[in-house]
């Protein structure tokens, strides 16, 4: 049976070879190709879907400000943001509640997904997470056209529960697809990361376009959430295509058969179709991938400590001269759009250039740690209500900082996510991919907490 597979080349080559006739004496191998890069495009779609739902919640902050404003008079347009009104408690705090409701369940869900991925099939995890997210976003989209002024508190609770459920399901989805990316060649993990970059860019682009054409906040939110619905549907269809691709079959099914044959425990099976397996050696896997895992955690912790909490408060140096640029587009363009586009560019570049190499751990560590320097650079820009000295006053400074900051986040983060699963034997790469996704999520959570502390430093000087 072992002759039916191309020894260790199966998991390392983009075009593995498999036996066409099953003969043990004279096996005939033929190459299975990812024709038209269909599998790569599918992983790209998975990457978009893994971040788009939560990014839509973040981008719709003006919509939620409208929903939670004080005036509940039915004679006033429910989608108009009142000028100079006193902010309600919900308006002041809903973003903090959303962040907590997103990060904590996400980390917990990713941890559980890593621990149970050997006993619950990929099909079940993918179908449950995708269909669950789809239901939640259909409901969220429908609520944008409902007048909720007379029951704001109930609407807030419904939204908060939705954020929790969506992020739990998104964590299961993300952990699963990064586990799959670990089984496939590294470029498919890079496709996931690049897809996430595009998934972050789309809400920023939609936000600017809807602002430019003068849509009200409810209409803009409807567009955001409807895009998320279409993205989730696309992911569901893409997964059905993936499991029918012969190229994917080599990695998903035949690798499982091989792992079964090589295992001392004959009850062992892979995570694709059936689950009769013992637990993988989590500690051993963690030790082997610890360096890239810690690096990816630091990368995203540094990023979230600055973005969007600090950089979104940087004002144009021409703020005294009122204009569309300073009042409407400066933050949307220089913060959200520029970050997401450069982050996407960095993630995409990692598919063509991998430097530092996988073996250059020290150089990779130095580049990651150097990113800490962006924290004081952004803090010394023209930040609203800052008590720190203003060193970088001109608009060019935060733009230049943002270009390097965002590019390095996408590029270095993608390298780490690609390198991690390759440090363990092929049997354990799905678990390694799950662990890498968990450490990425931990970086996001820690970075969010650090951003609160840095904001206090800025305000107090």
Cβ contact 82:217 at 8 Å: no
Of 238, 267, 300, which closes a domain? 238
The percentage of residues in the chain with a pLDDT greater than 70, rounded to a whole number, is 83
Give me 193's structure tokens: 């990361």
* Residue of 200, 188, 406 whose CA lies nearest to 300: 406
Residue 316 lies in a domain: yes
The percentage of residues in the chain with a pLDDT greater than 90, rounded to a whole number, is 55
What pLDDT does 19 receive? 55
Q: Which residue has the higher pLDDT, 44 or 321?
A: 44
What is the mean predicted confidence (pLDDT) over 49-55? Answer: 88
Comparing 170-174, 246-250, 316-320, the range with the smallest average pLDDT is: 316-320
Do 195 and 298 lie in one domain? The reply is no
Residue 3 lies in a domain: no
What pLDDT does 11 receive? 39
- The count of C-alpha atoms lying within 13 angstroms of the C-alpha of 128, restricted to the half-sphere facing its C-beta, is 13
What pLDDT does 412 receive? 98
What pLDDT does 322 receive? 59
Q: Confidence band (pLDDT; 50, 70, 90) for 252?
A: confident
Q: Confidence band (pLDDT; 50, 70, 90) for 86?
A: confident
Considering the entire predicted model, what is its pTM? Answer: 0.87
CATH code of the domain covering residue 174: 1.20.1250
Residue 302 lies in a domain: yes
β-sheet bridge partners, residue 29: 19
What pLDDT does 14 receive? 60
Do 297 and 433 lie in one domain? The reply is yes
Q: Confidence band (pLDDT; 50, 70, 90) for 95?
A: confident
What is the mean predicted confidence (pLDDT) over 292-297? Answer: 98
Q: What is the pLDDT of residues 339-389, one digit of tens each?
A: 999 999 999 999 999 999 999 999 999 999 999 999 999 999 999 889 999
Do 45 and 112 lie in one domain? The reply is yes
Do 234 and 333 lie in one domain? The reply is no
Do 286 and 233 lie in one domain? The reply is no
Do 47 and 163 lie in one domain? The reply is yes
Radius of gyration of the chain (CA): 23
Residue 25 lies in a domain: no
Of 238, 270, 297, which closes a domain? 238
Three-state SS sequence of the chain: CHHHECHHHCCCCCCCEEECCCCCCCCCEEECCCHHHHHHHHHHHHHHHHHHHHHHHHHCHHHHHHHCCCCCCCCCCCCCCCCCCCCCHHHHHHHHHHHHHHHHHHHHHHHHHHHHCCCCCHHHHHHHHHHHHHHHHHHHHHHCCCCCHHHHHHHHHHHHHHHHHHHHHHHHHHHHHHHHHHHCCHHHHHHHHHHHHHHHHHHHHHHHHHHHCCCCHHHHHHHHHHHHHHHHHHHHHHHHHHCCCHHHHHHHHHHHHHHHHHCCCCCCCCCCCCCCCCCCCHHHHHHHHHHHHHHHHHHHHHHHHHCCCCHHHECCCCCCCCCHHHHHHHHHHHHHHHHHHHHHHHHHHCCCCCCCCCCCHHHHHHHHHHHHHHHHHHHCECECCCCCCCCECCCHHHHHHHHHHHHHHHHHHHHHHHHHHHHCCHHHHHHHHHHHHHHHHHHHHHHHHHHHHHHHHHHHC
CA 443, CA 447: separation in Å to the nearest integer? Answer: 6
Cβ contact 66:81 at 8 Å: yes
Asked whether residue 274 carries a pLDDT value surpassing 60, the answer given is no
Asked whether residue 5 carries a pLDDT value surpassing 60, the answer given is no
Do 286 and 411 lie in one domain? The reply is yes
Q: Specify the number of domains making up the chain.
A: 2
What is the residue whose two structure tokens read 């062992």? 268
What is the mean predicted confidence (pLDDT) over 225-238? Answer: 95
Asked whether residue 269 carries a pLDDT value surpassing 70, the answer given is no
β-sheet bridge partners, residue 17: 31
What pLDDT does 273 receive? 55
What pLDDT does 272 receive? 55
What pLDDT does 231 receive? 95
Do 230 and 284 lie in one domain? The reply is no
Do 317 and 383 lie in one domain? The reply is yes
Range of the domain at 205: 39-238
Residue 120 lies in a domain: yes
Report the mean per-residue pLDDT for the chain: 85
Asked whether residue 91 carries a pLDDT value surpassing 90, the answer given is no
Of 238, 272, 296, which closes a domain? 238
Q: Confidence band (pLDDT; 50, 70, 90) for 266?
A: very low
What pLDDT does 198 receive? 95
Cβ contact 350:410 at 8 Å: yes
Q: What is the pLDDT of residues 173-183, one digit of tens each?
A: 999 999 999 99
Asked whether residue 212 carries a pLDDT value surpassing 70, the answer given is yes
Q: Torsions phi, psi of 30, nearest 5?
A: -135, 155
Asked whether residue 17 carries a pLDDT value surpassing 70, the answer given is no
């Amino acid at each position: 049976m072992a002759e039916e597979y191309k020894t260790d080349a199966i998991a390392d080559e983009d075009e593995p070879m498999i036996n066409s006739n099953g003969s043990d004496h004279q096996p005939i191998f033929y190459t299975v190709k990812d024709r038209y890069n269909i599998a790569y495009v599918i992983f790209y779609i998975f990457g978009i879907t893994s971040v788009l739902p939560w990014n839509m919640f973040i981008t719709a902050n003006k919509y939620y400000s409208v929903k939670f404003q004080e005036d509940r008079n039915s004679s006033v347009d429910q989608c108009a943001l009142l000028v100079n009104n006193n902010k309600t408690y919900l308006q002041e705090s809903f973003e903090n509640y959303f962040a907590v409701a997103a990060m904590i369940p996400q980390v917990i869900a990713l941890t559980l997904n890593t621990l149970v991925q050997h006993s619950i099939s990929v099909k079940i995890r993918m179908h449950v997470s995708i269909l669950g997210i789809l239901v939640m976003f259909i409901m969220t989209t429908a609520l944008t056209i409902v007048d909720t002024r007379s029951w704001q508190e109930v609407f807030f609770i419904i939204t908060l529960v939705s954020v929790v459920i969506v992020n739990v399901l998104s964590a299961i989805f993300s952990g699963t697809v990064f586990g799959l990316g670990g089984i496939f060649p590294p470029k498919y993990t890079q496709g996931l990361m690049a897809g996430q970059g595009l998934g972050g860019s789309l809400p920023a682009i939609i936000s600017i376009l809807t602002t430019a054409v003068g849509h009200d906040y409810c209409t803009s939110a409807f567009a955001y959430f409807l895009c998320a619905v279409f993205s989730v549907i696309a992911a569901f269809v893409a997964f059905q295509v993936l499991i029918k691709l012969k190229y994917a079959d080599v990695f998903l099914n035949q690798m499982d058969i091989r792992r079964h044959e090589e295992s001392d425990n004959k009850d062992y099976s892979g995570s694709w179709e059936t689950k009769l397996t013992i637990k993988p050696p989590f500690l051993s896997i963690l030790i082997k991938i610890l360096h890239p895992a810690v690096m990816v955690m630091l990368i995203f912790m540094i990023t979230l400590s600055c973005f969007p909490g600090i950089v979104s408060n940087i004002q144009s140096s021409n703020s005294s001269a009122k204009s569309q640029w300073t009042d409407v587009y400066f933050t949307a363009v220089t913060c959200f759009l520029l970050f997401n586009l450069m982050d996407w560019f960095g993630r995409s570049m990692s598919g063509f250039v991998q430097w530092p190499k996988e073996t250059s751990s020290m150089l990779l560590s130095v580049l990651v740690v150097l990113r800490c320097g962006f924290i004081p650079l952004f803090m010394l820009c023209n930040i609203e209500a800052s008590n720190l000295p203003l060193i970088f006053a001109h608009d060019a400074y935060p733009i230049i900082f943002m270009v390097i900051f965002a590019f390095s986040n996408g590029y270095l983060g993608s390298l780490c996510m690609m390198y991690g699963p390759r440090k363990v034997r092929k049997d354990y790469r799905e678990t390694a991919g799950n662990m890498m996704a968990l450490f990425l999520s931990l970086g996001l959570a820690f970075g969010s907490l650090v951003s609160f502390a840095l904001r206090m430093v800025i305000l107090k000087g």
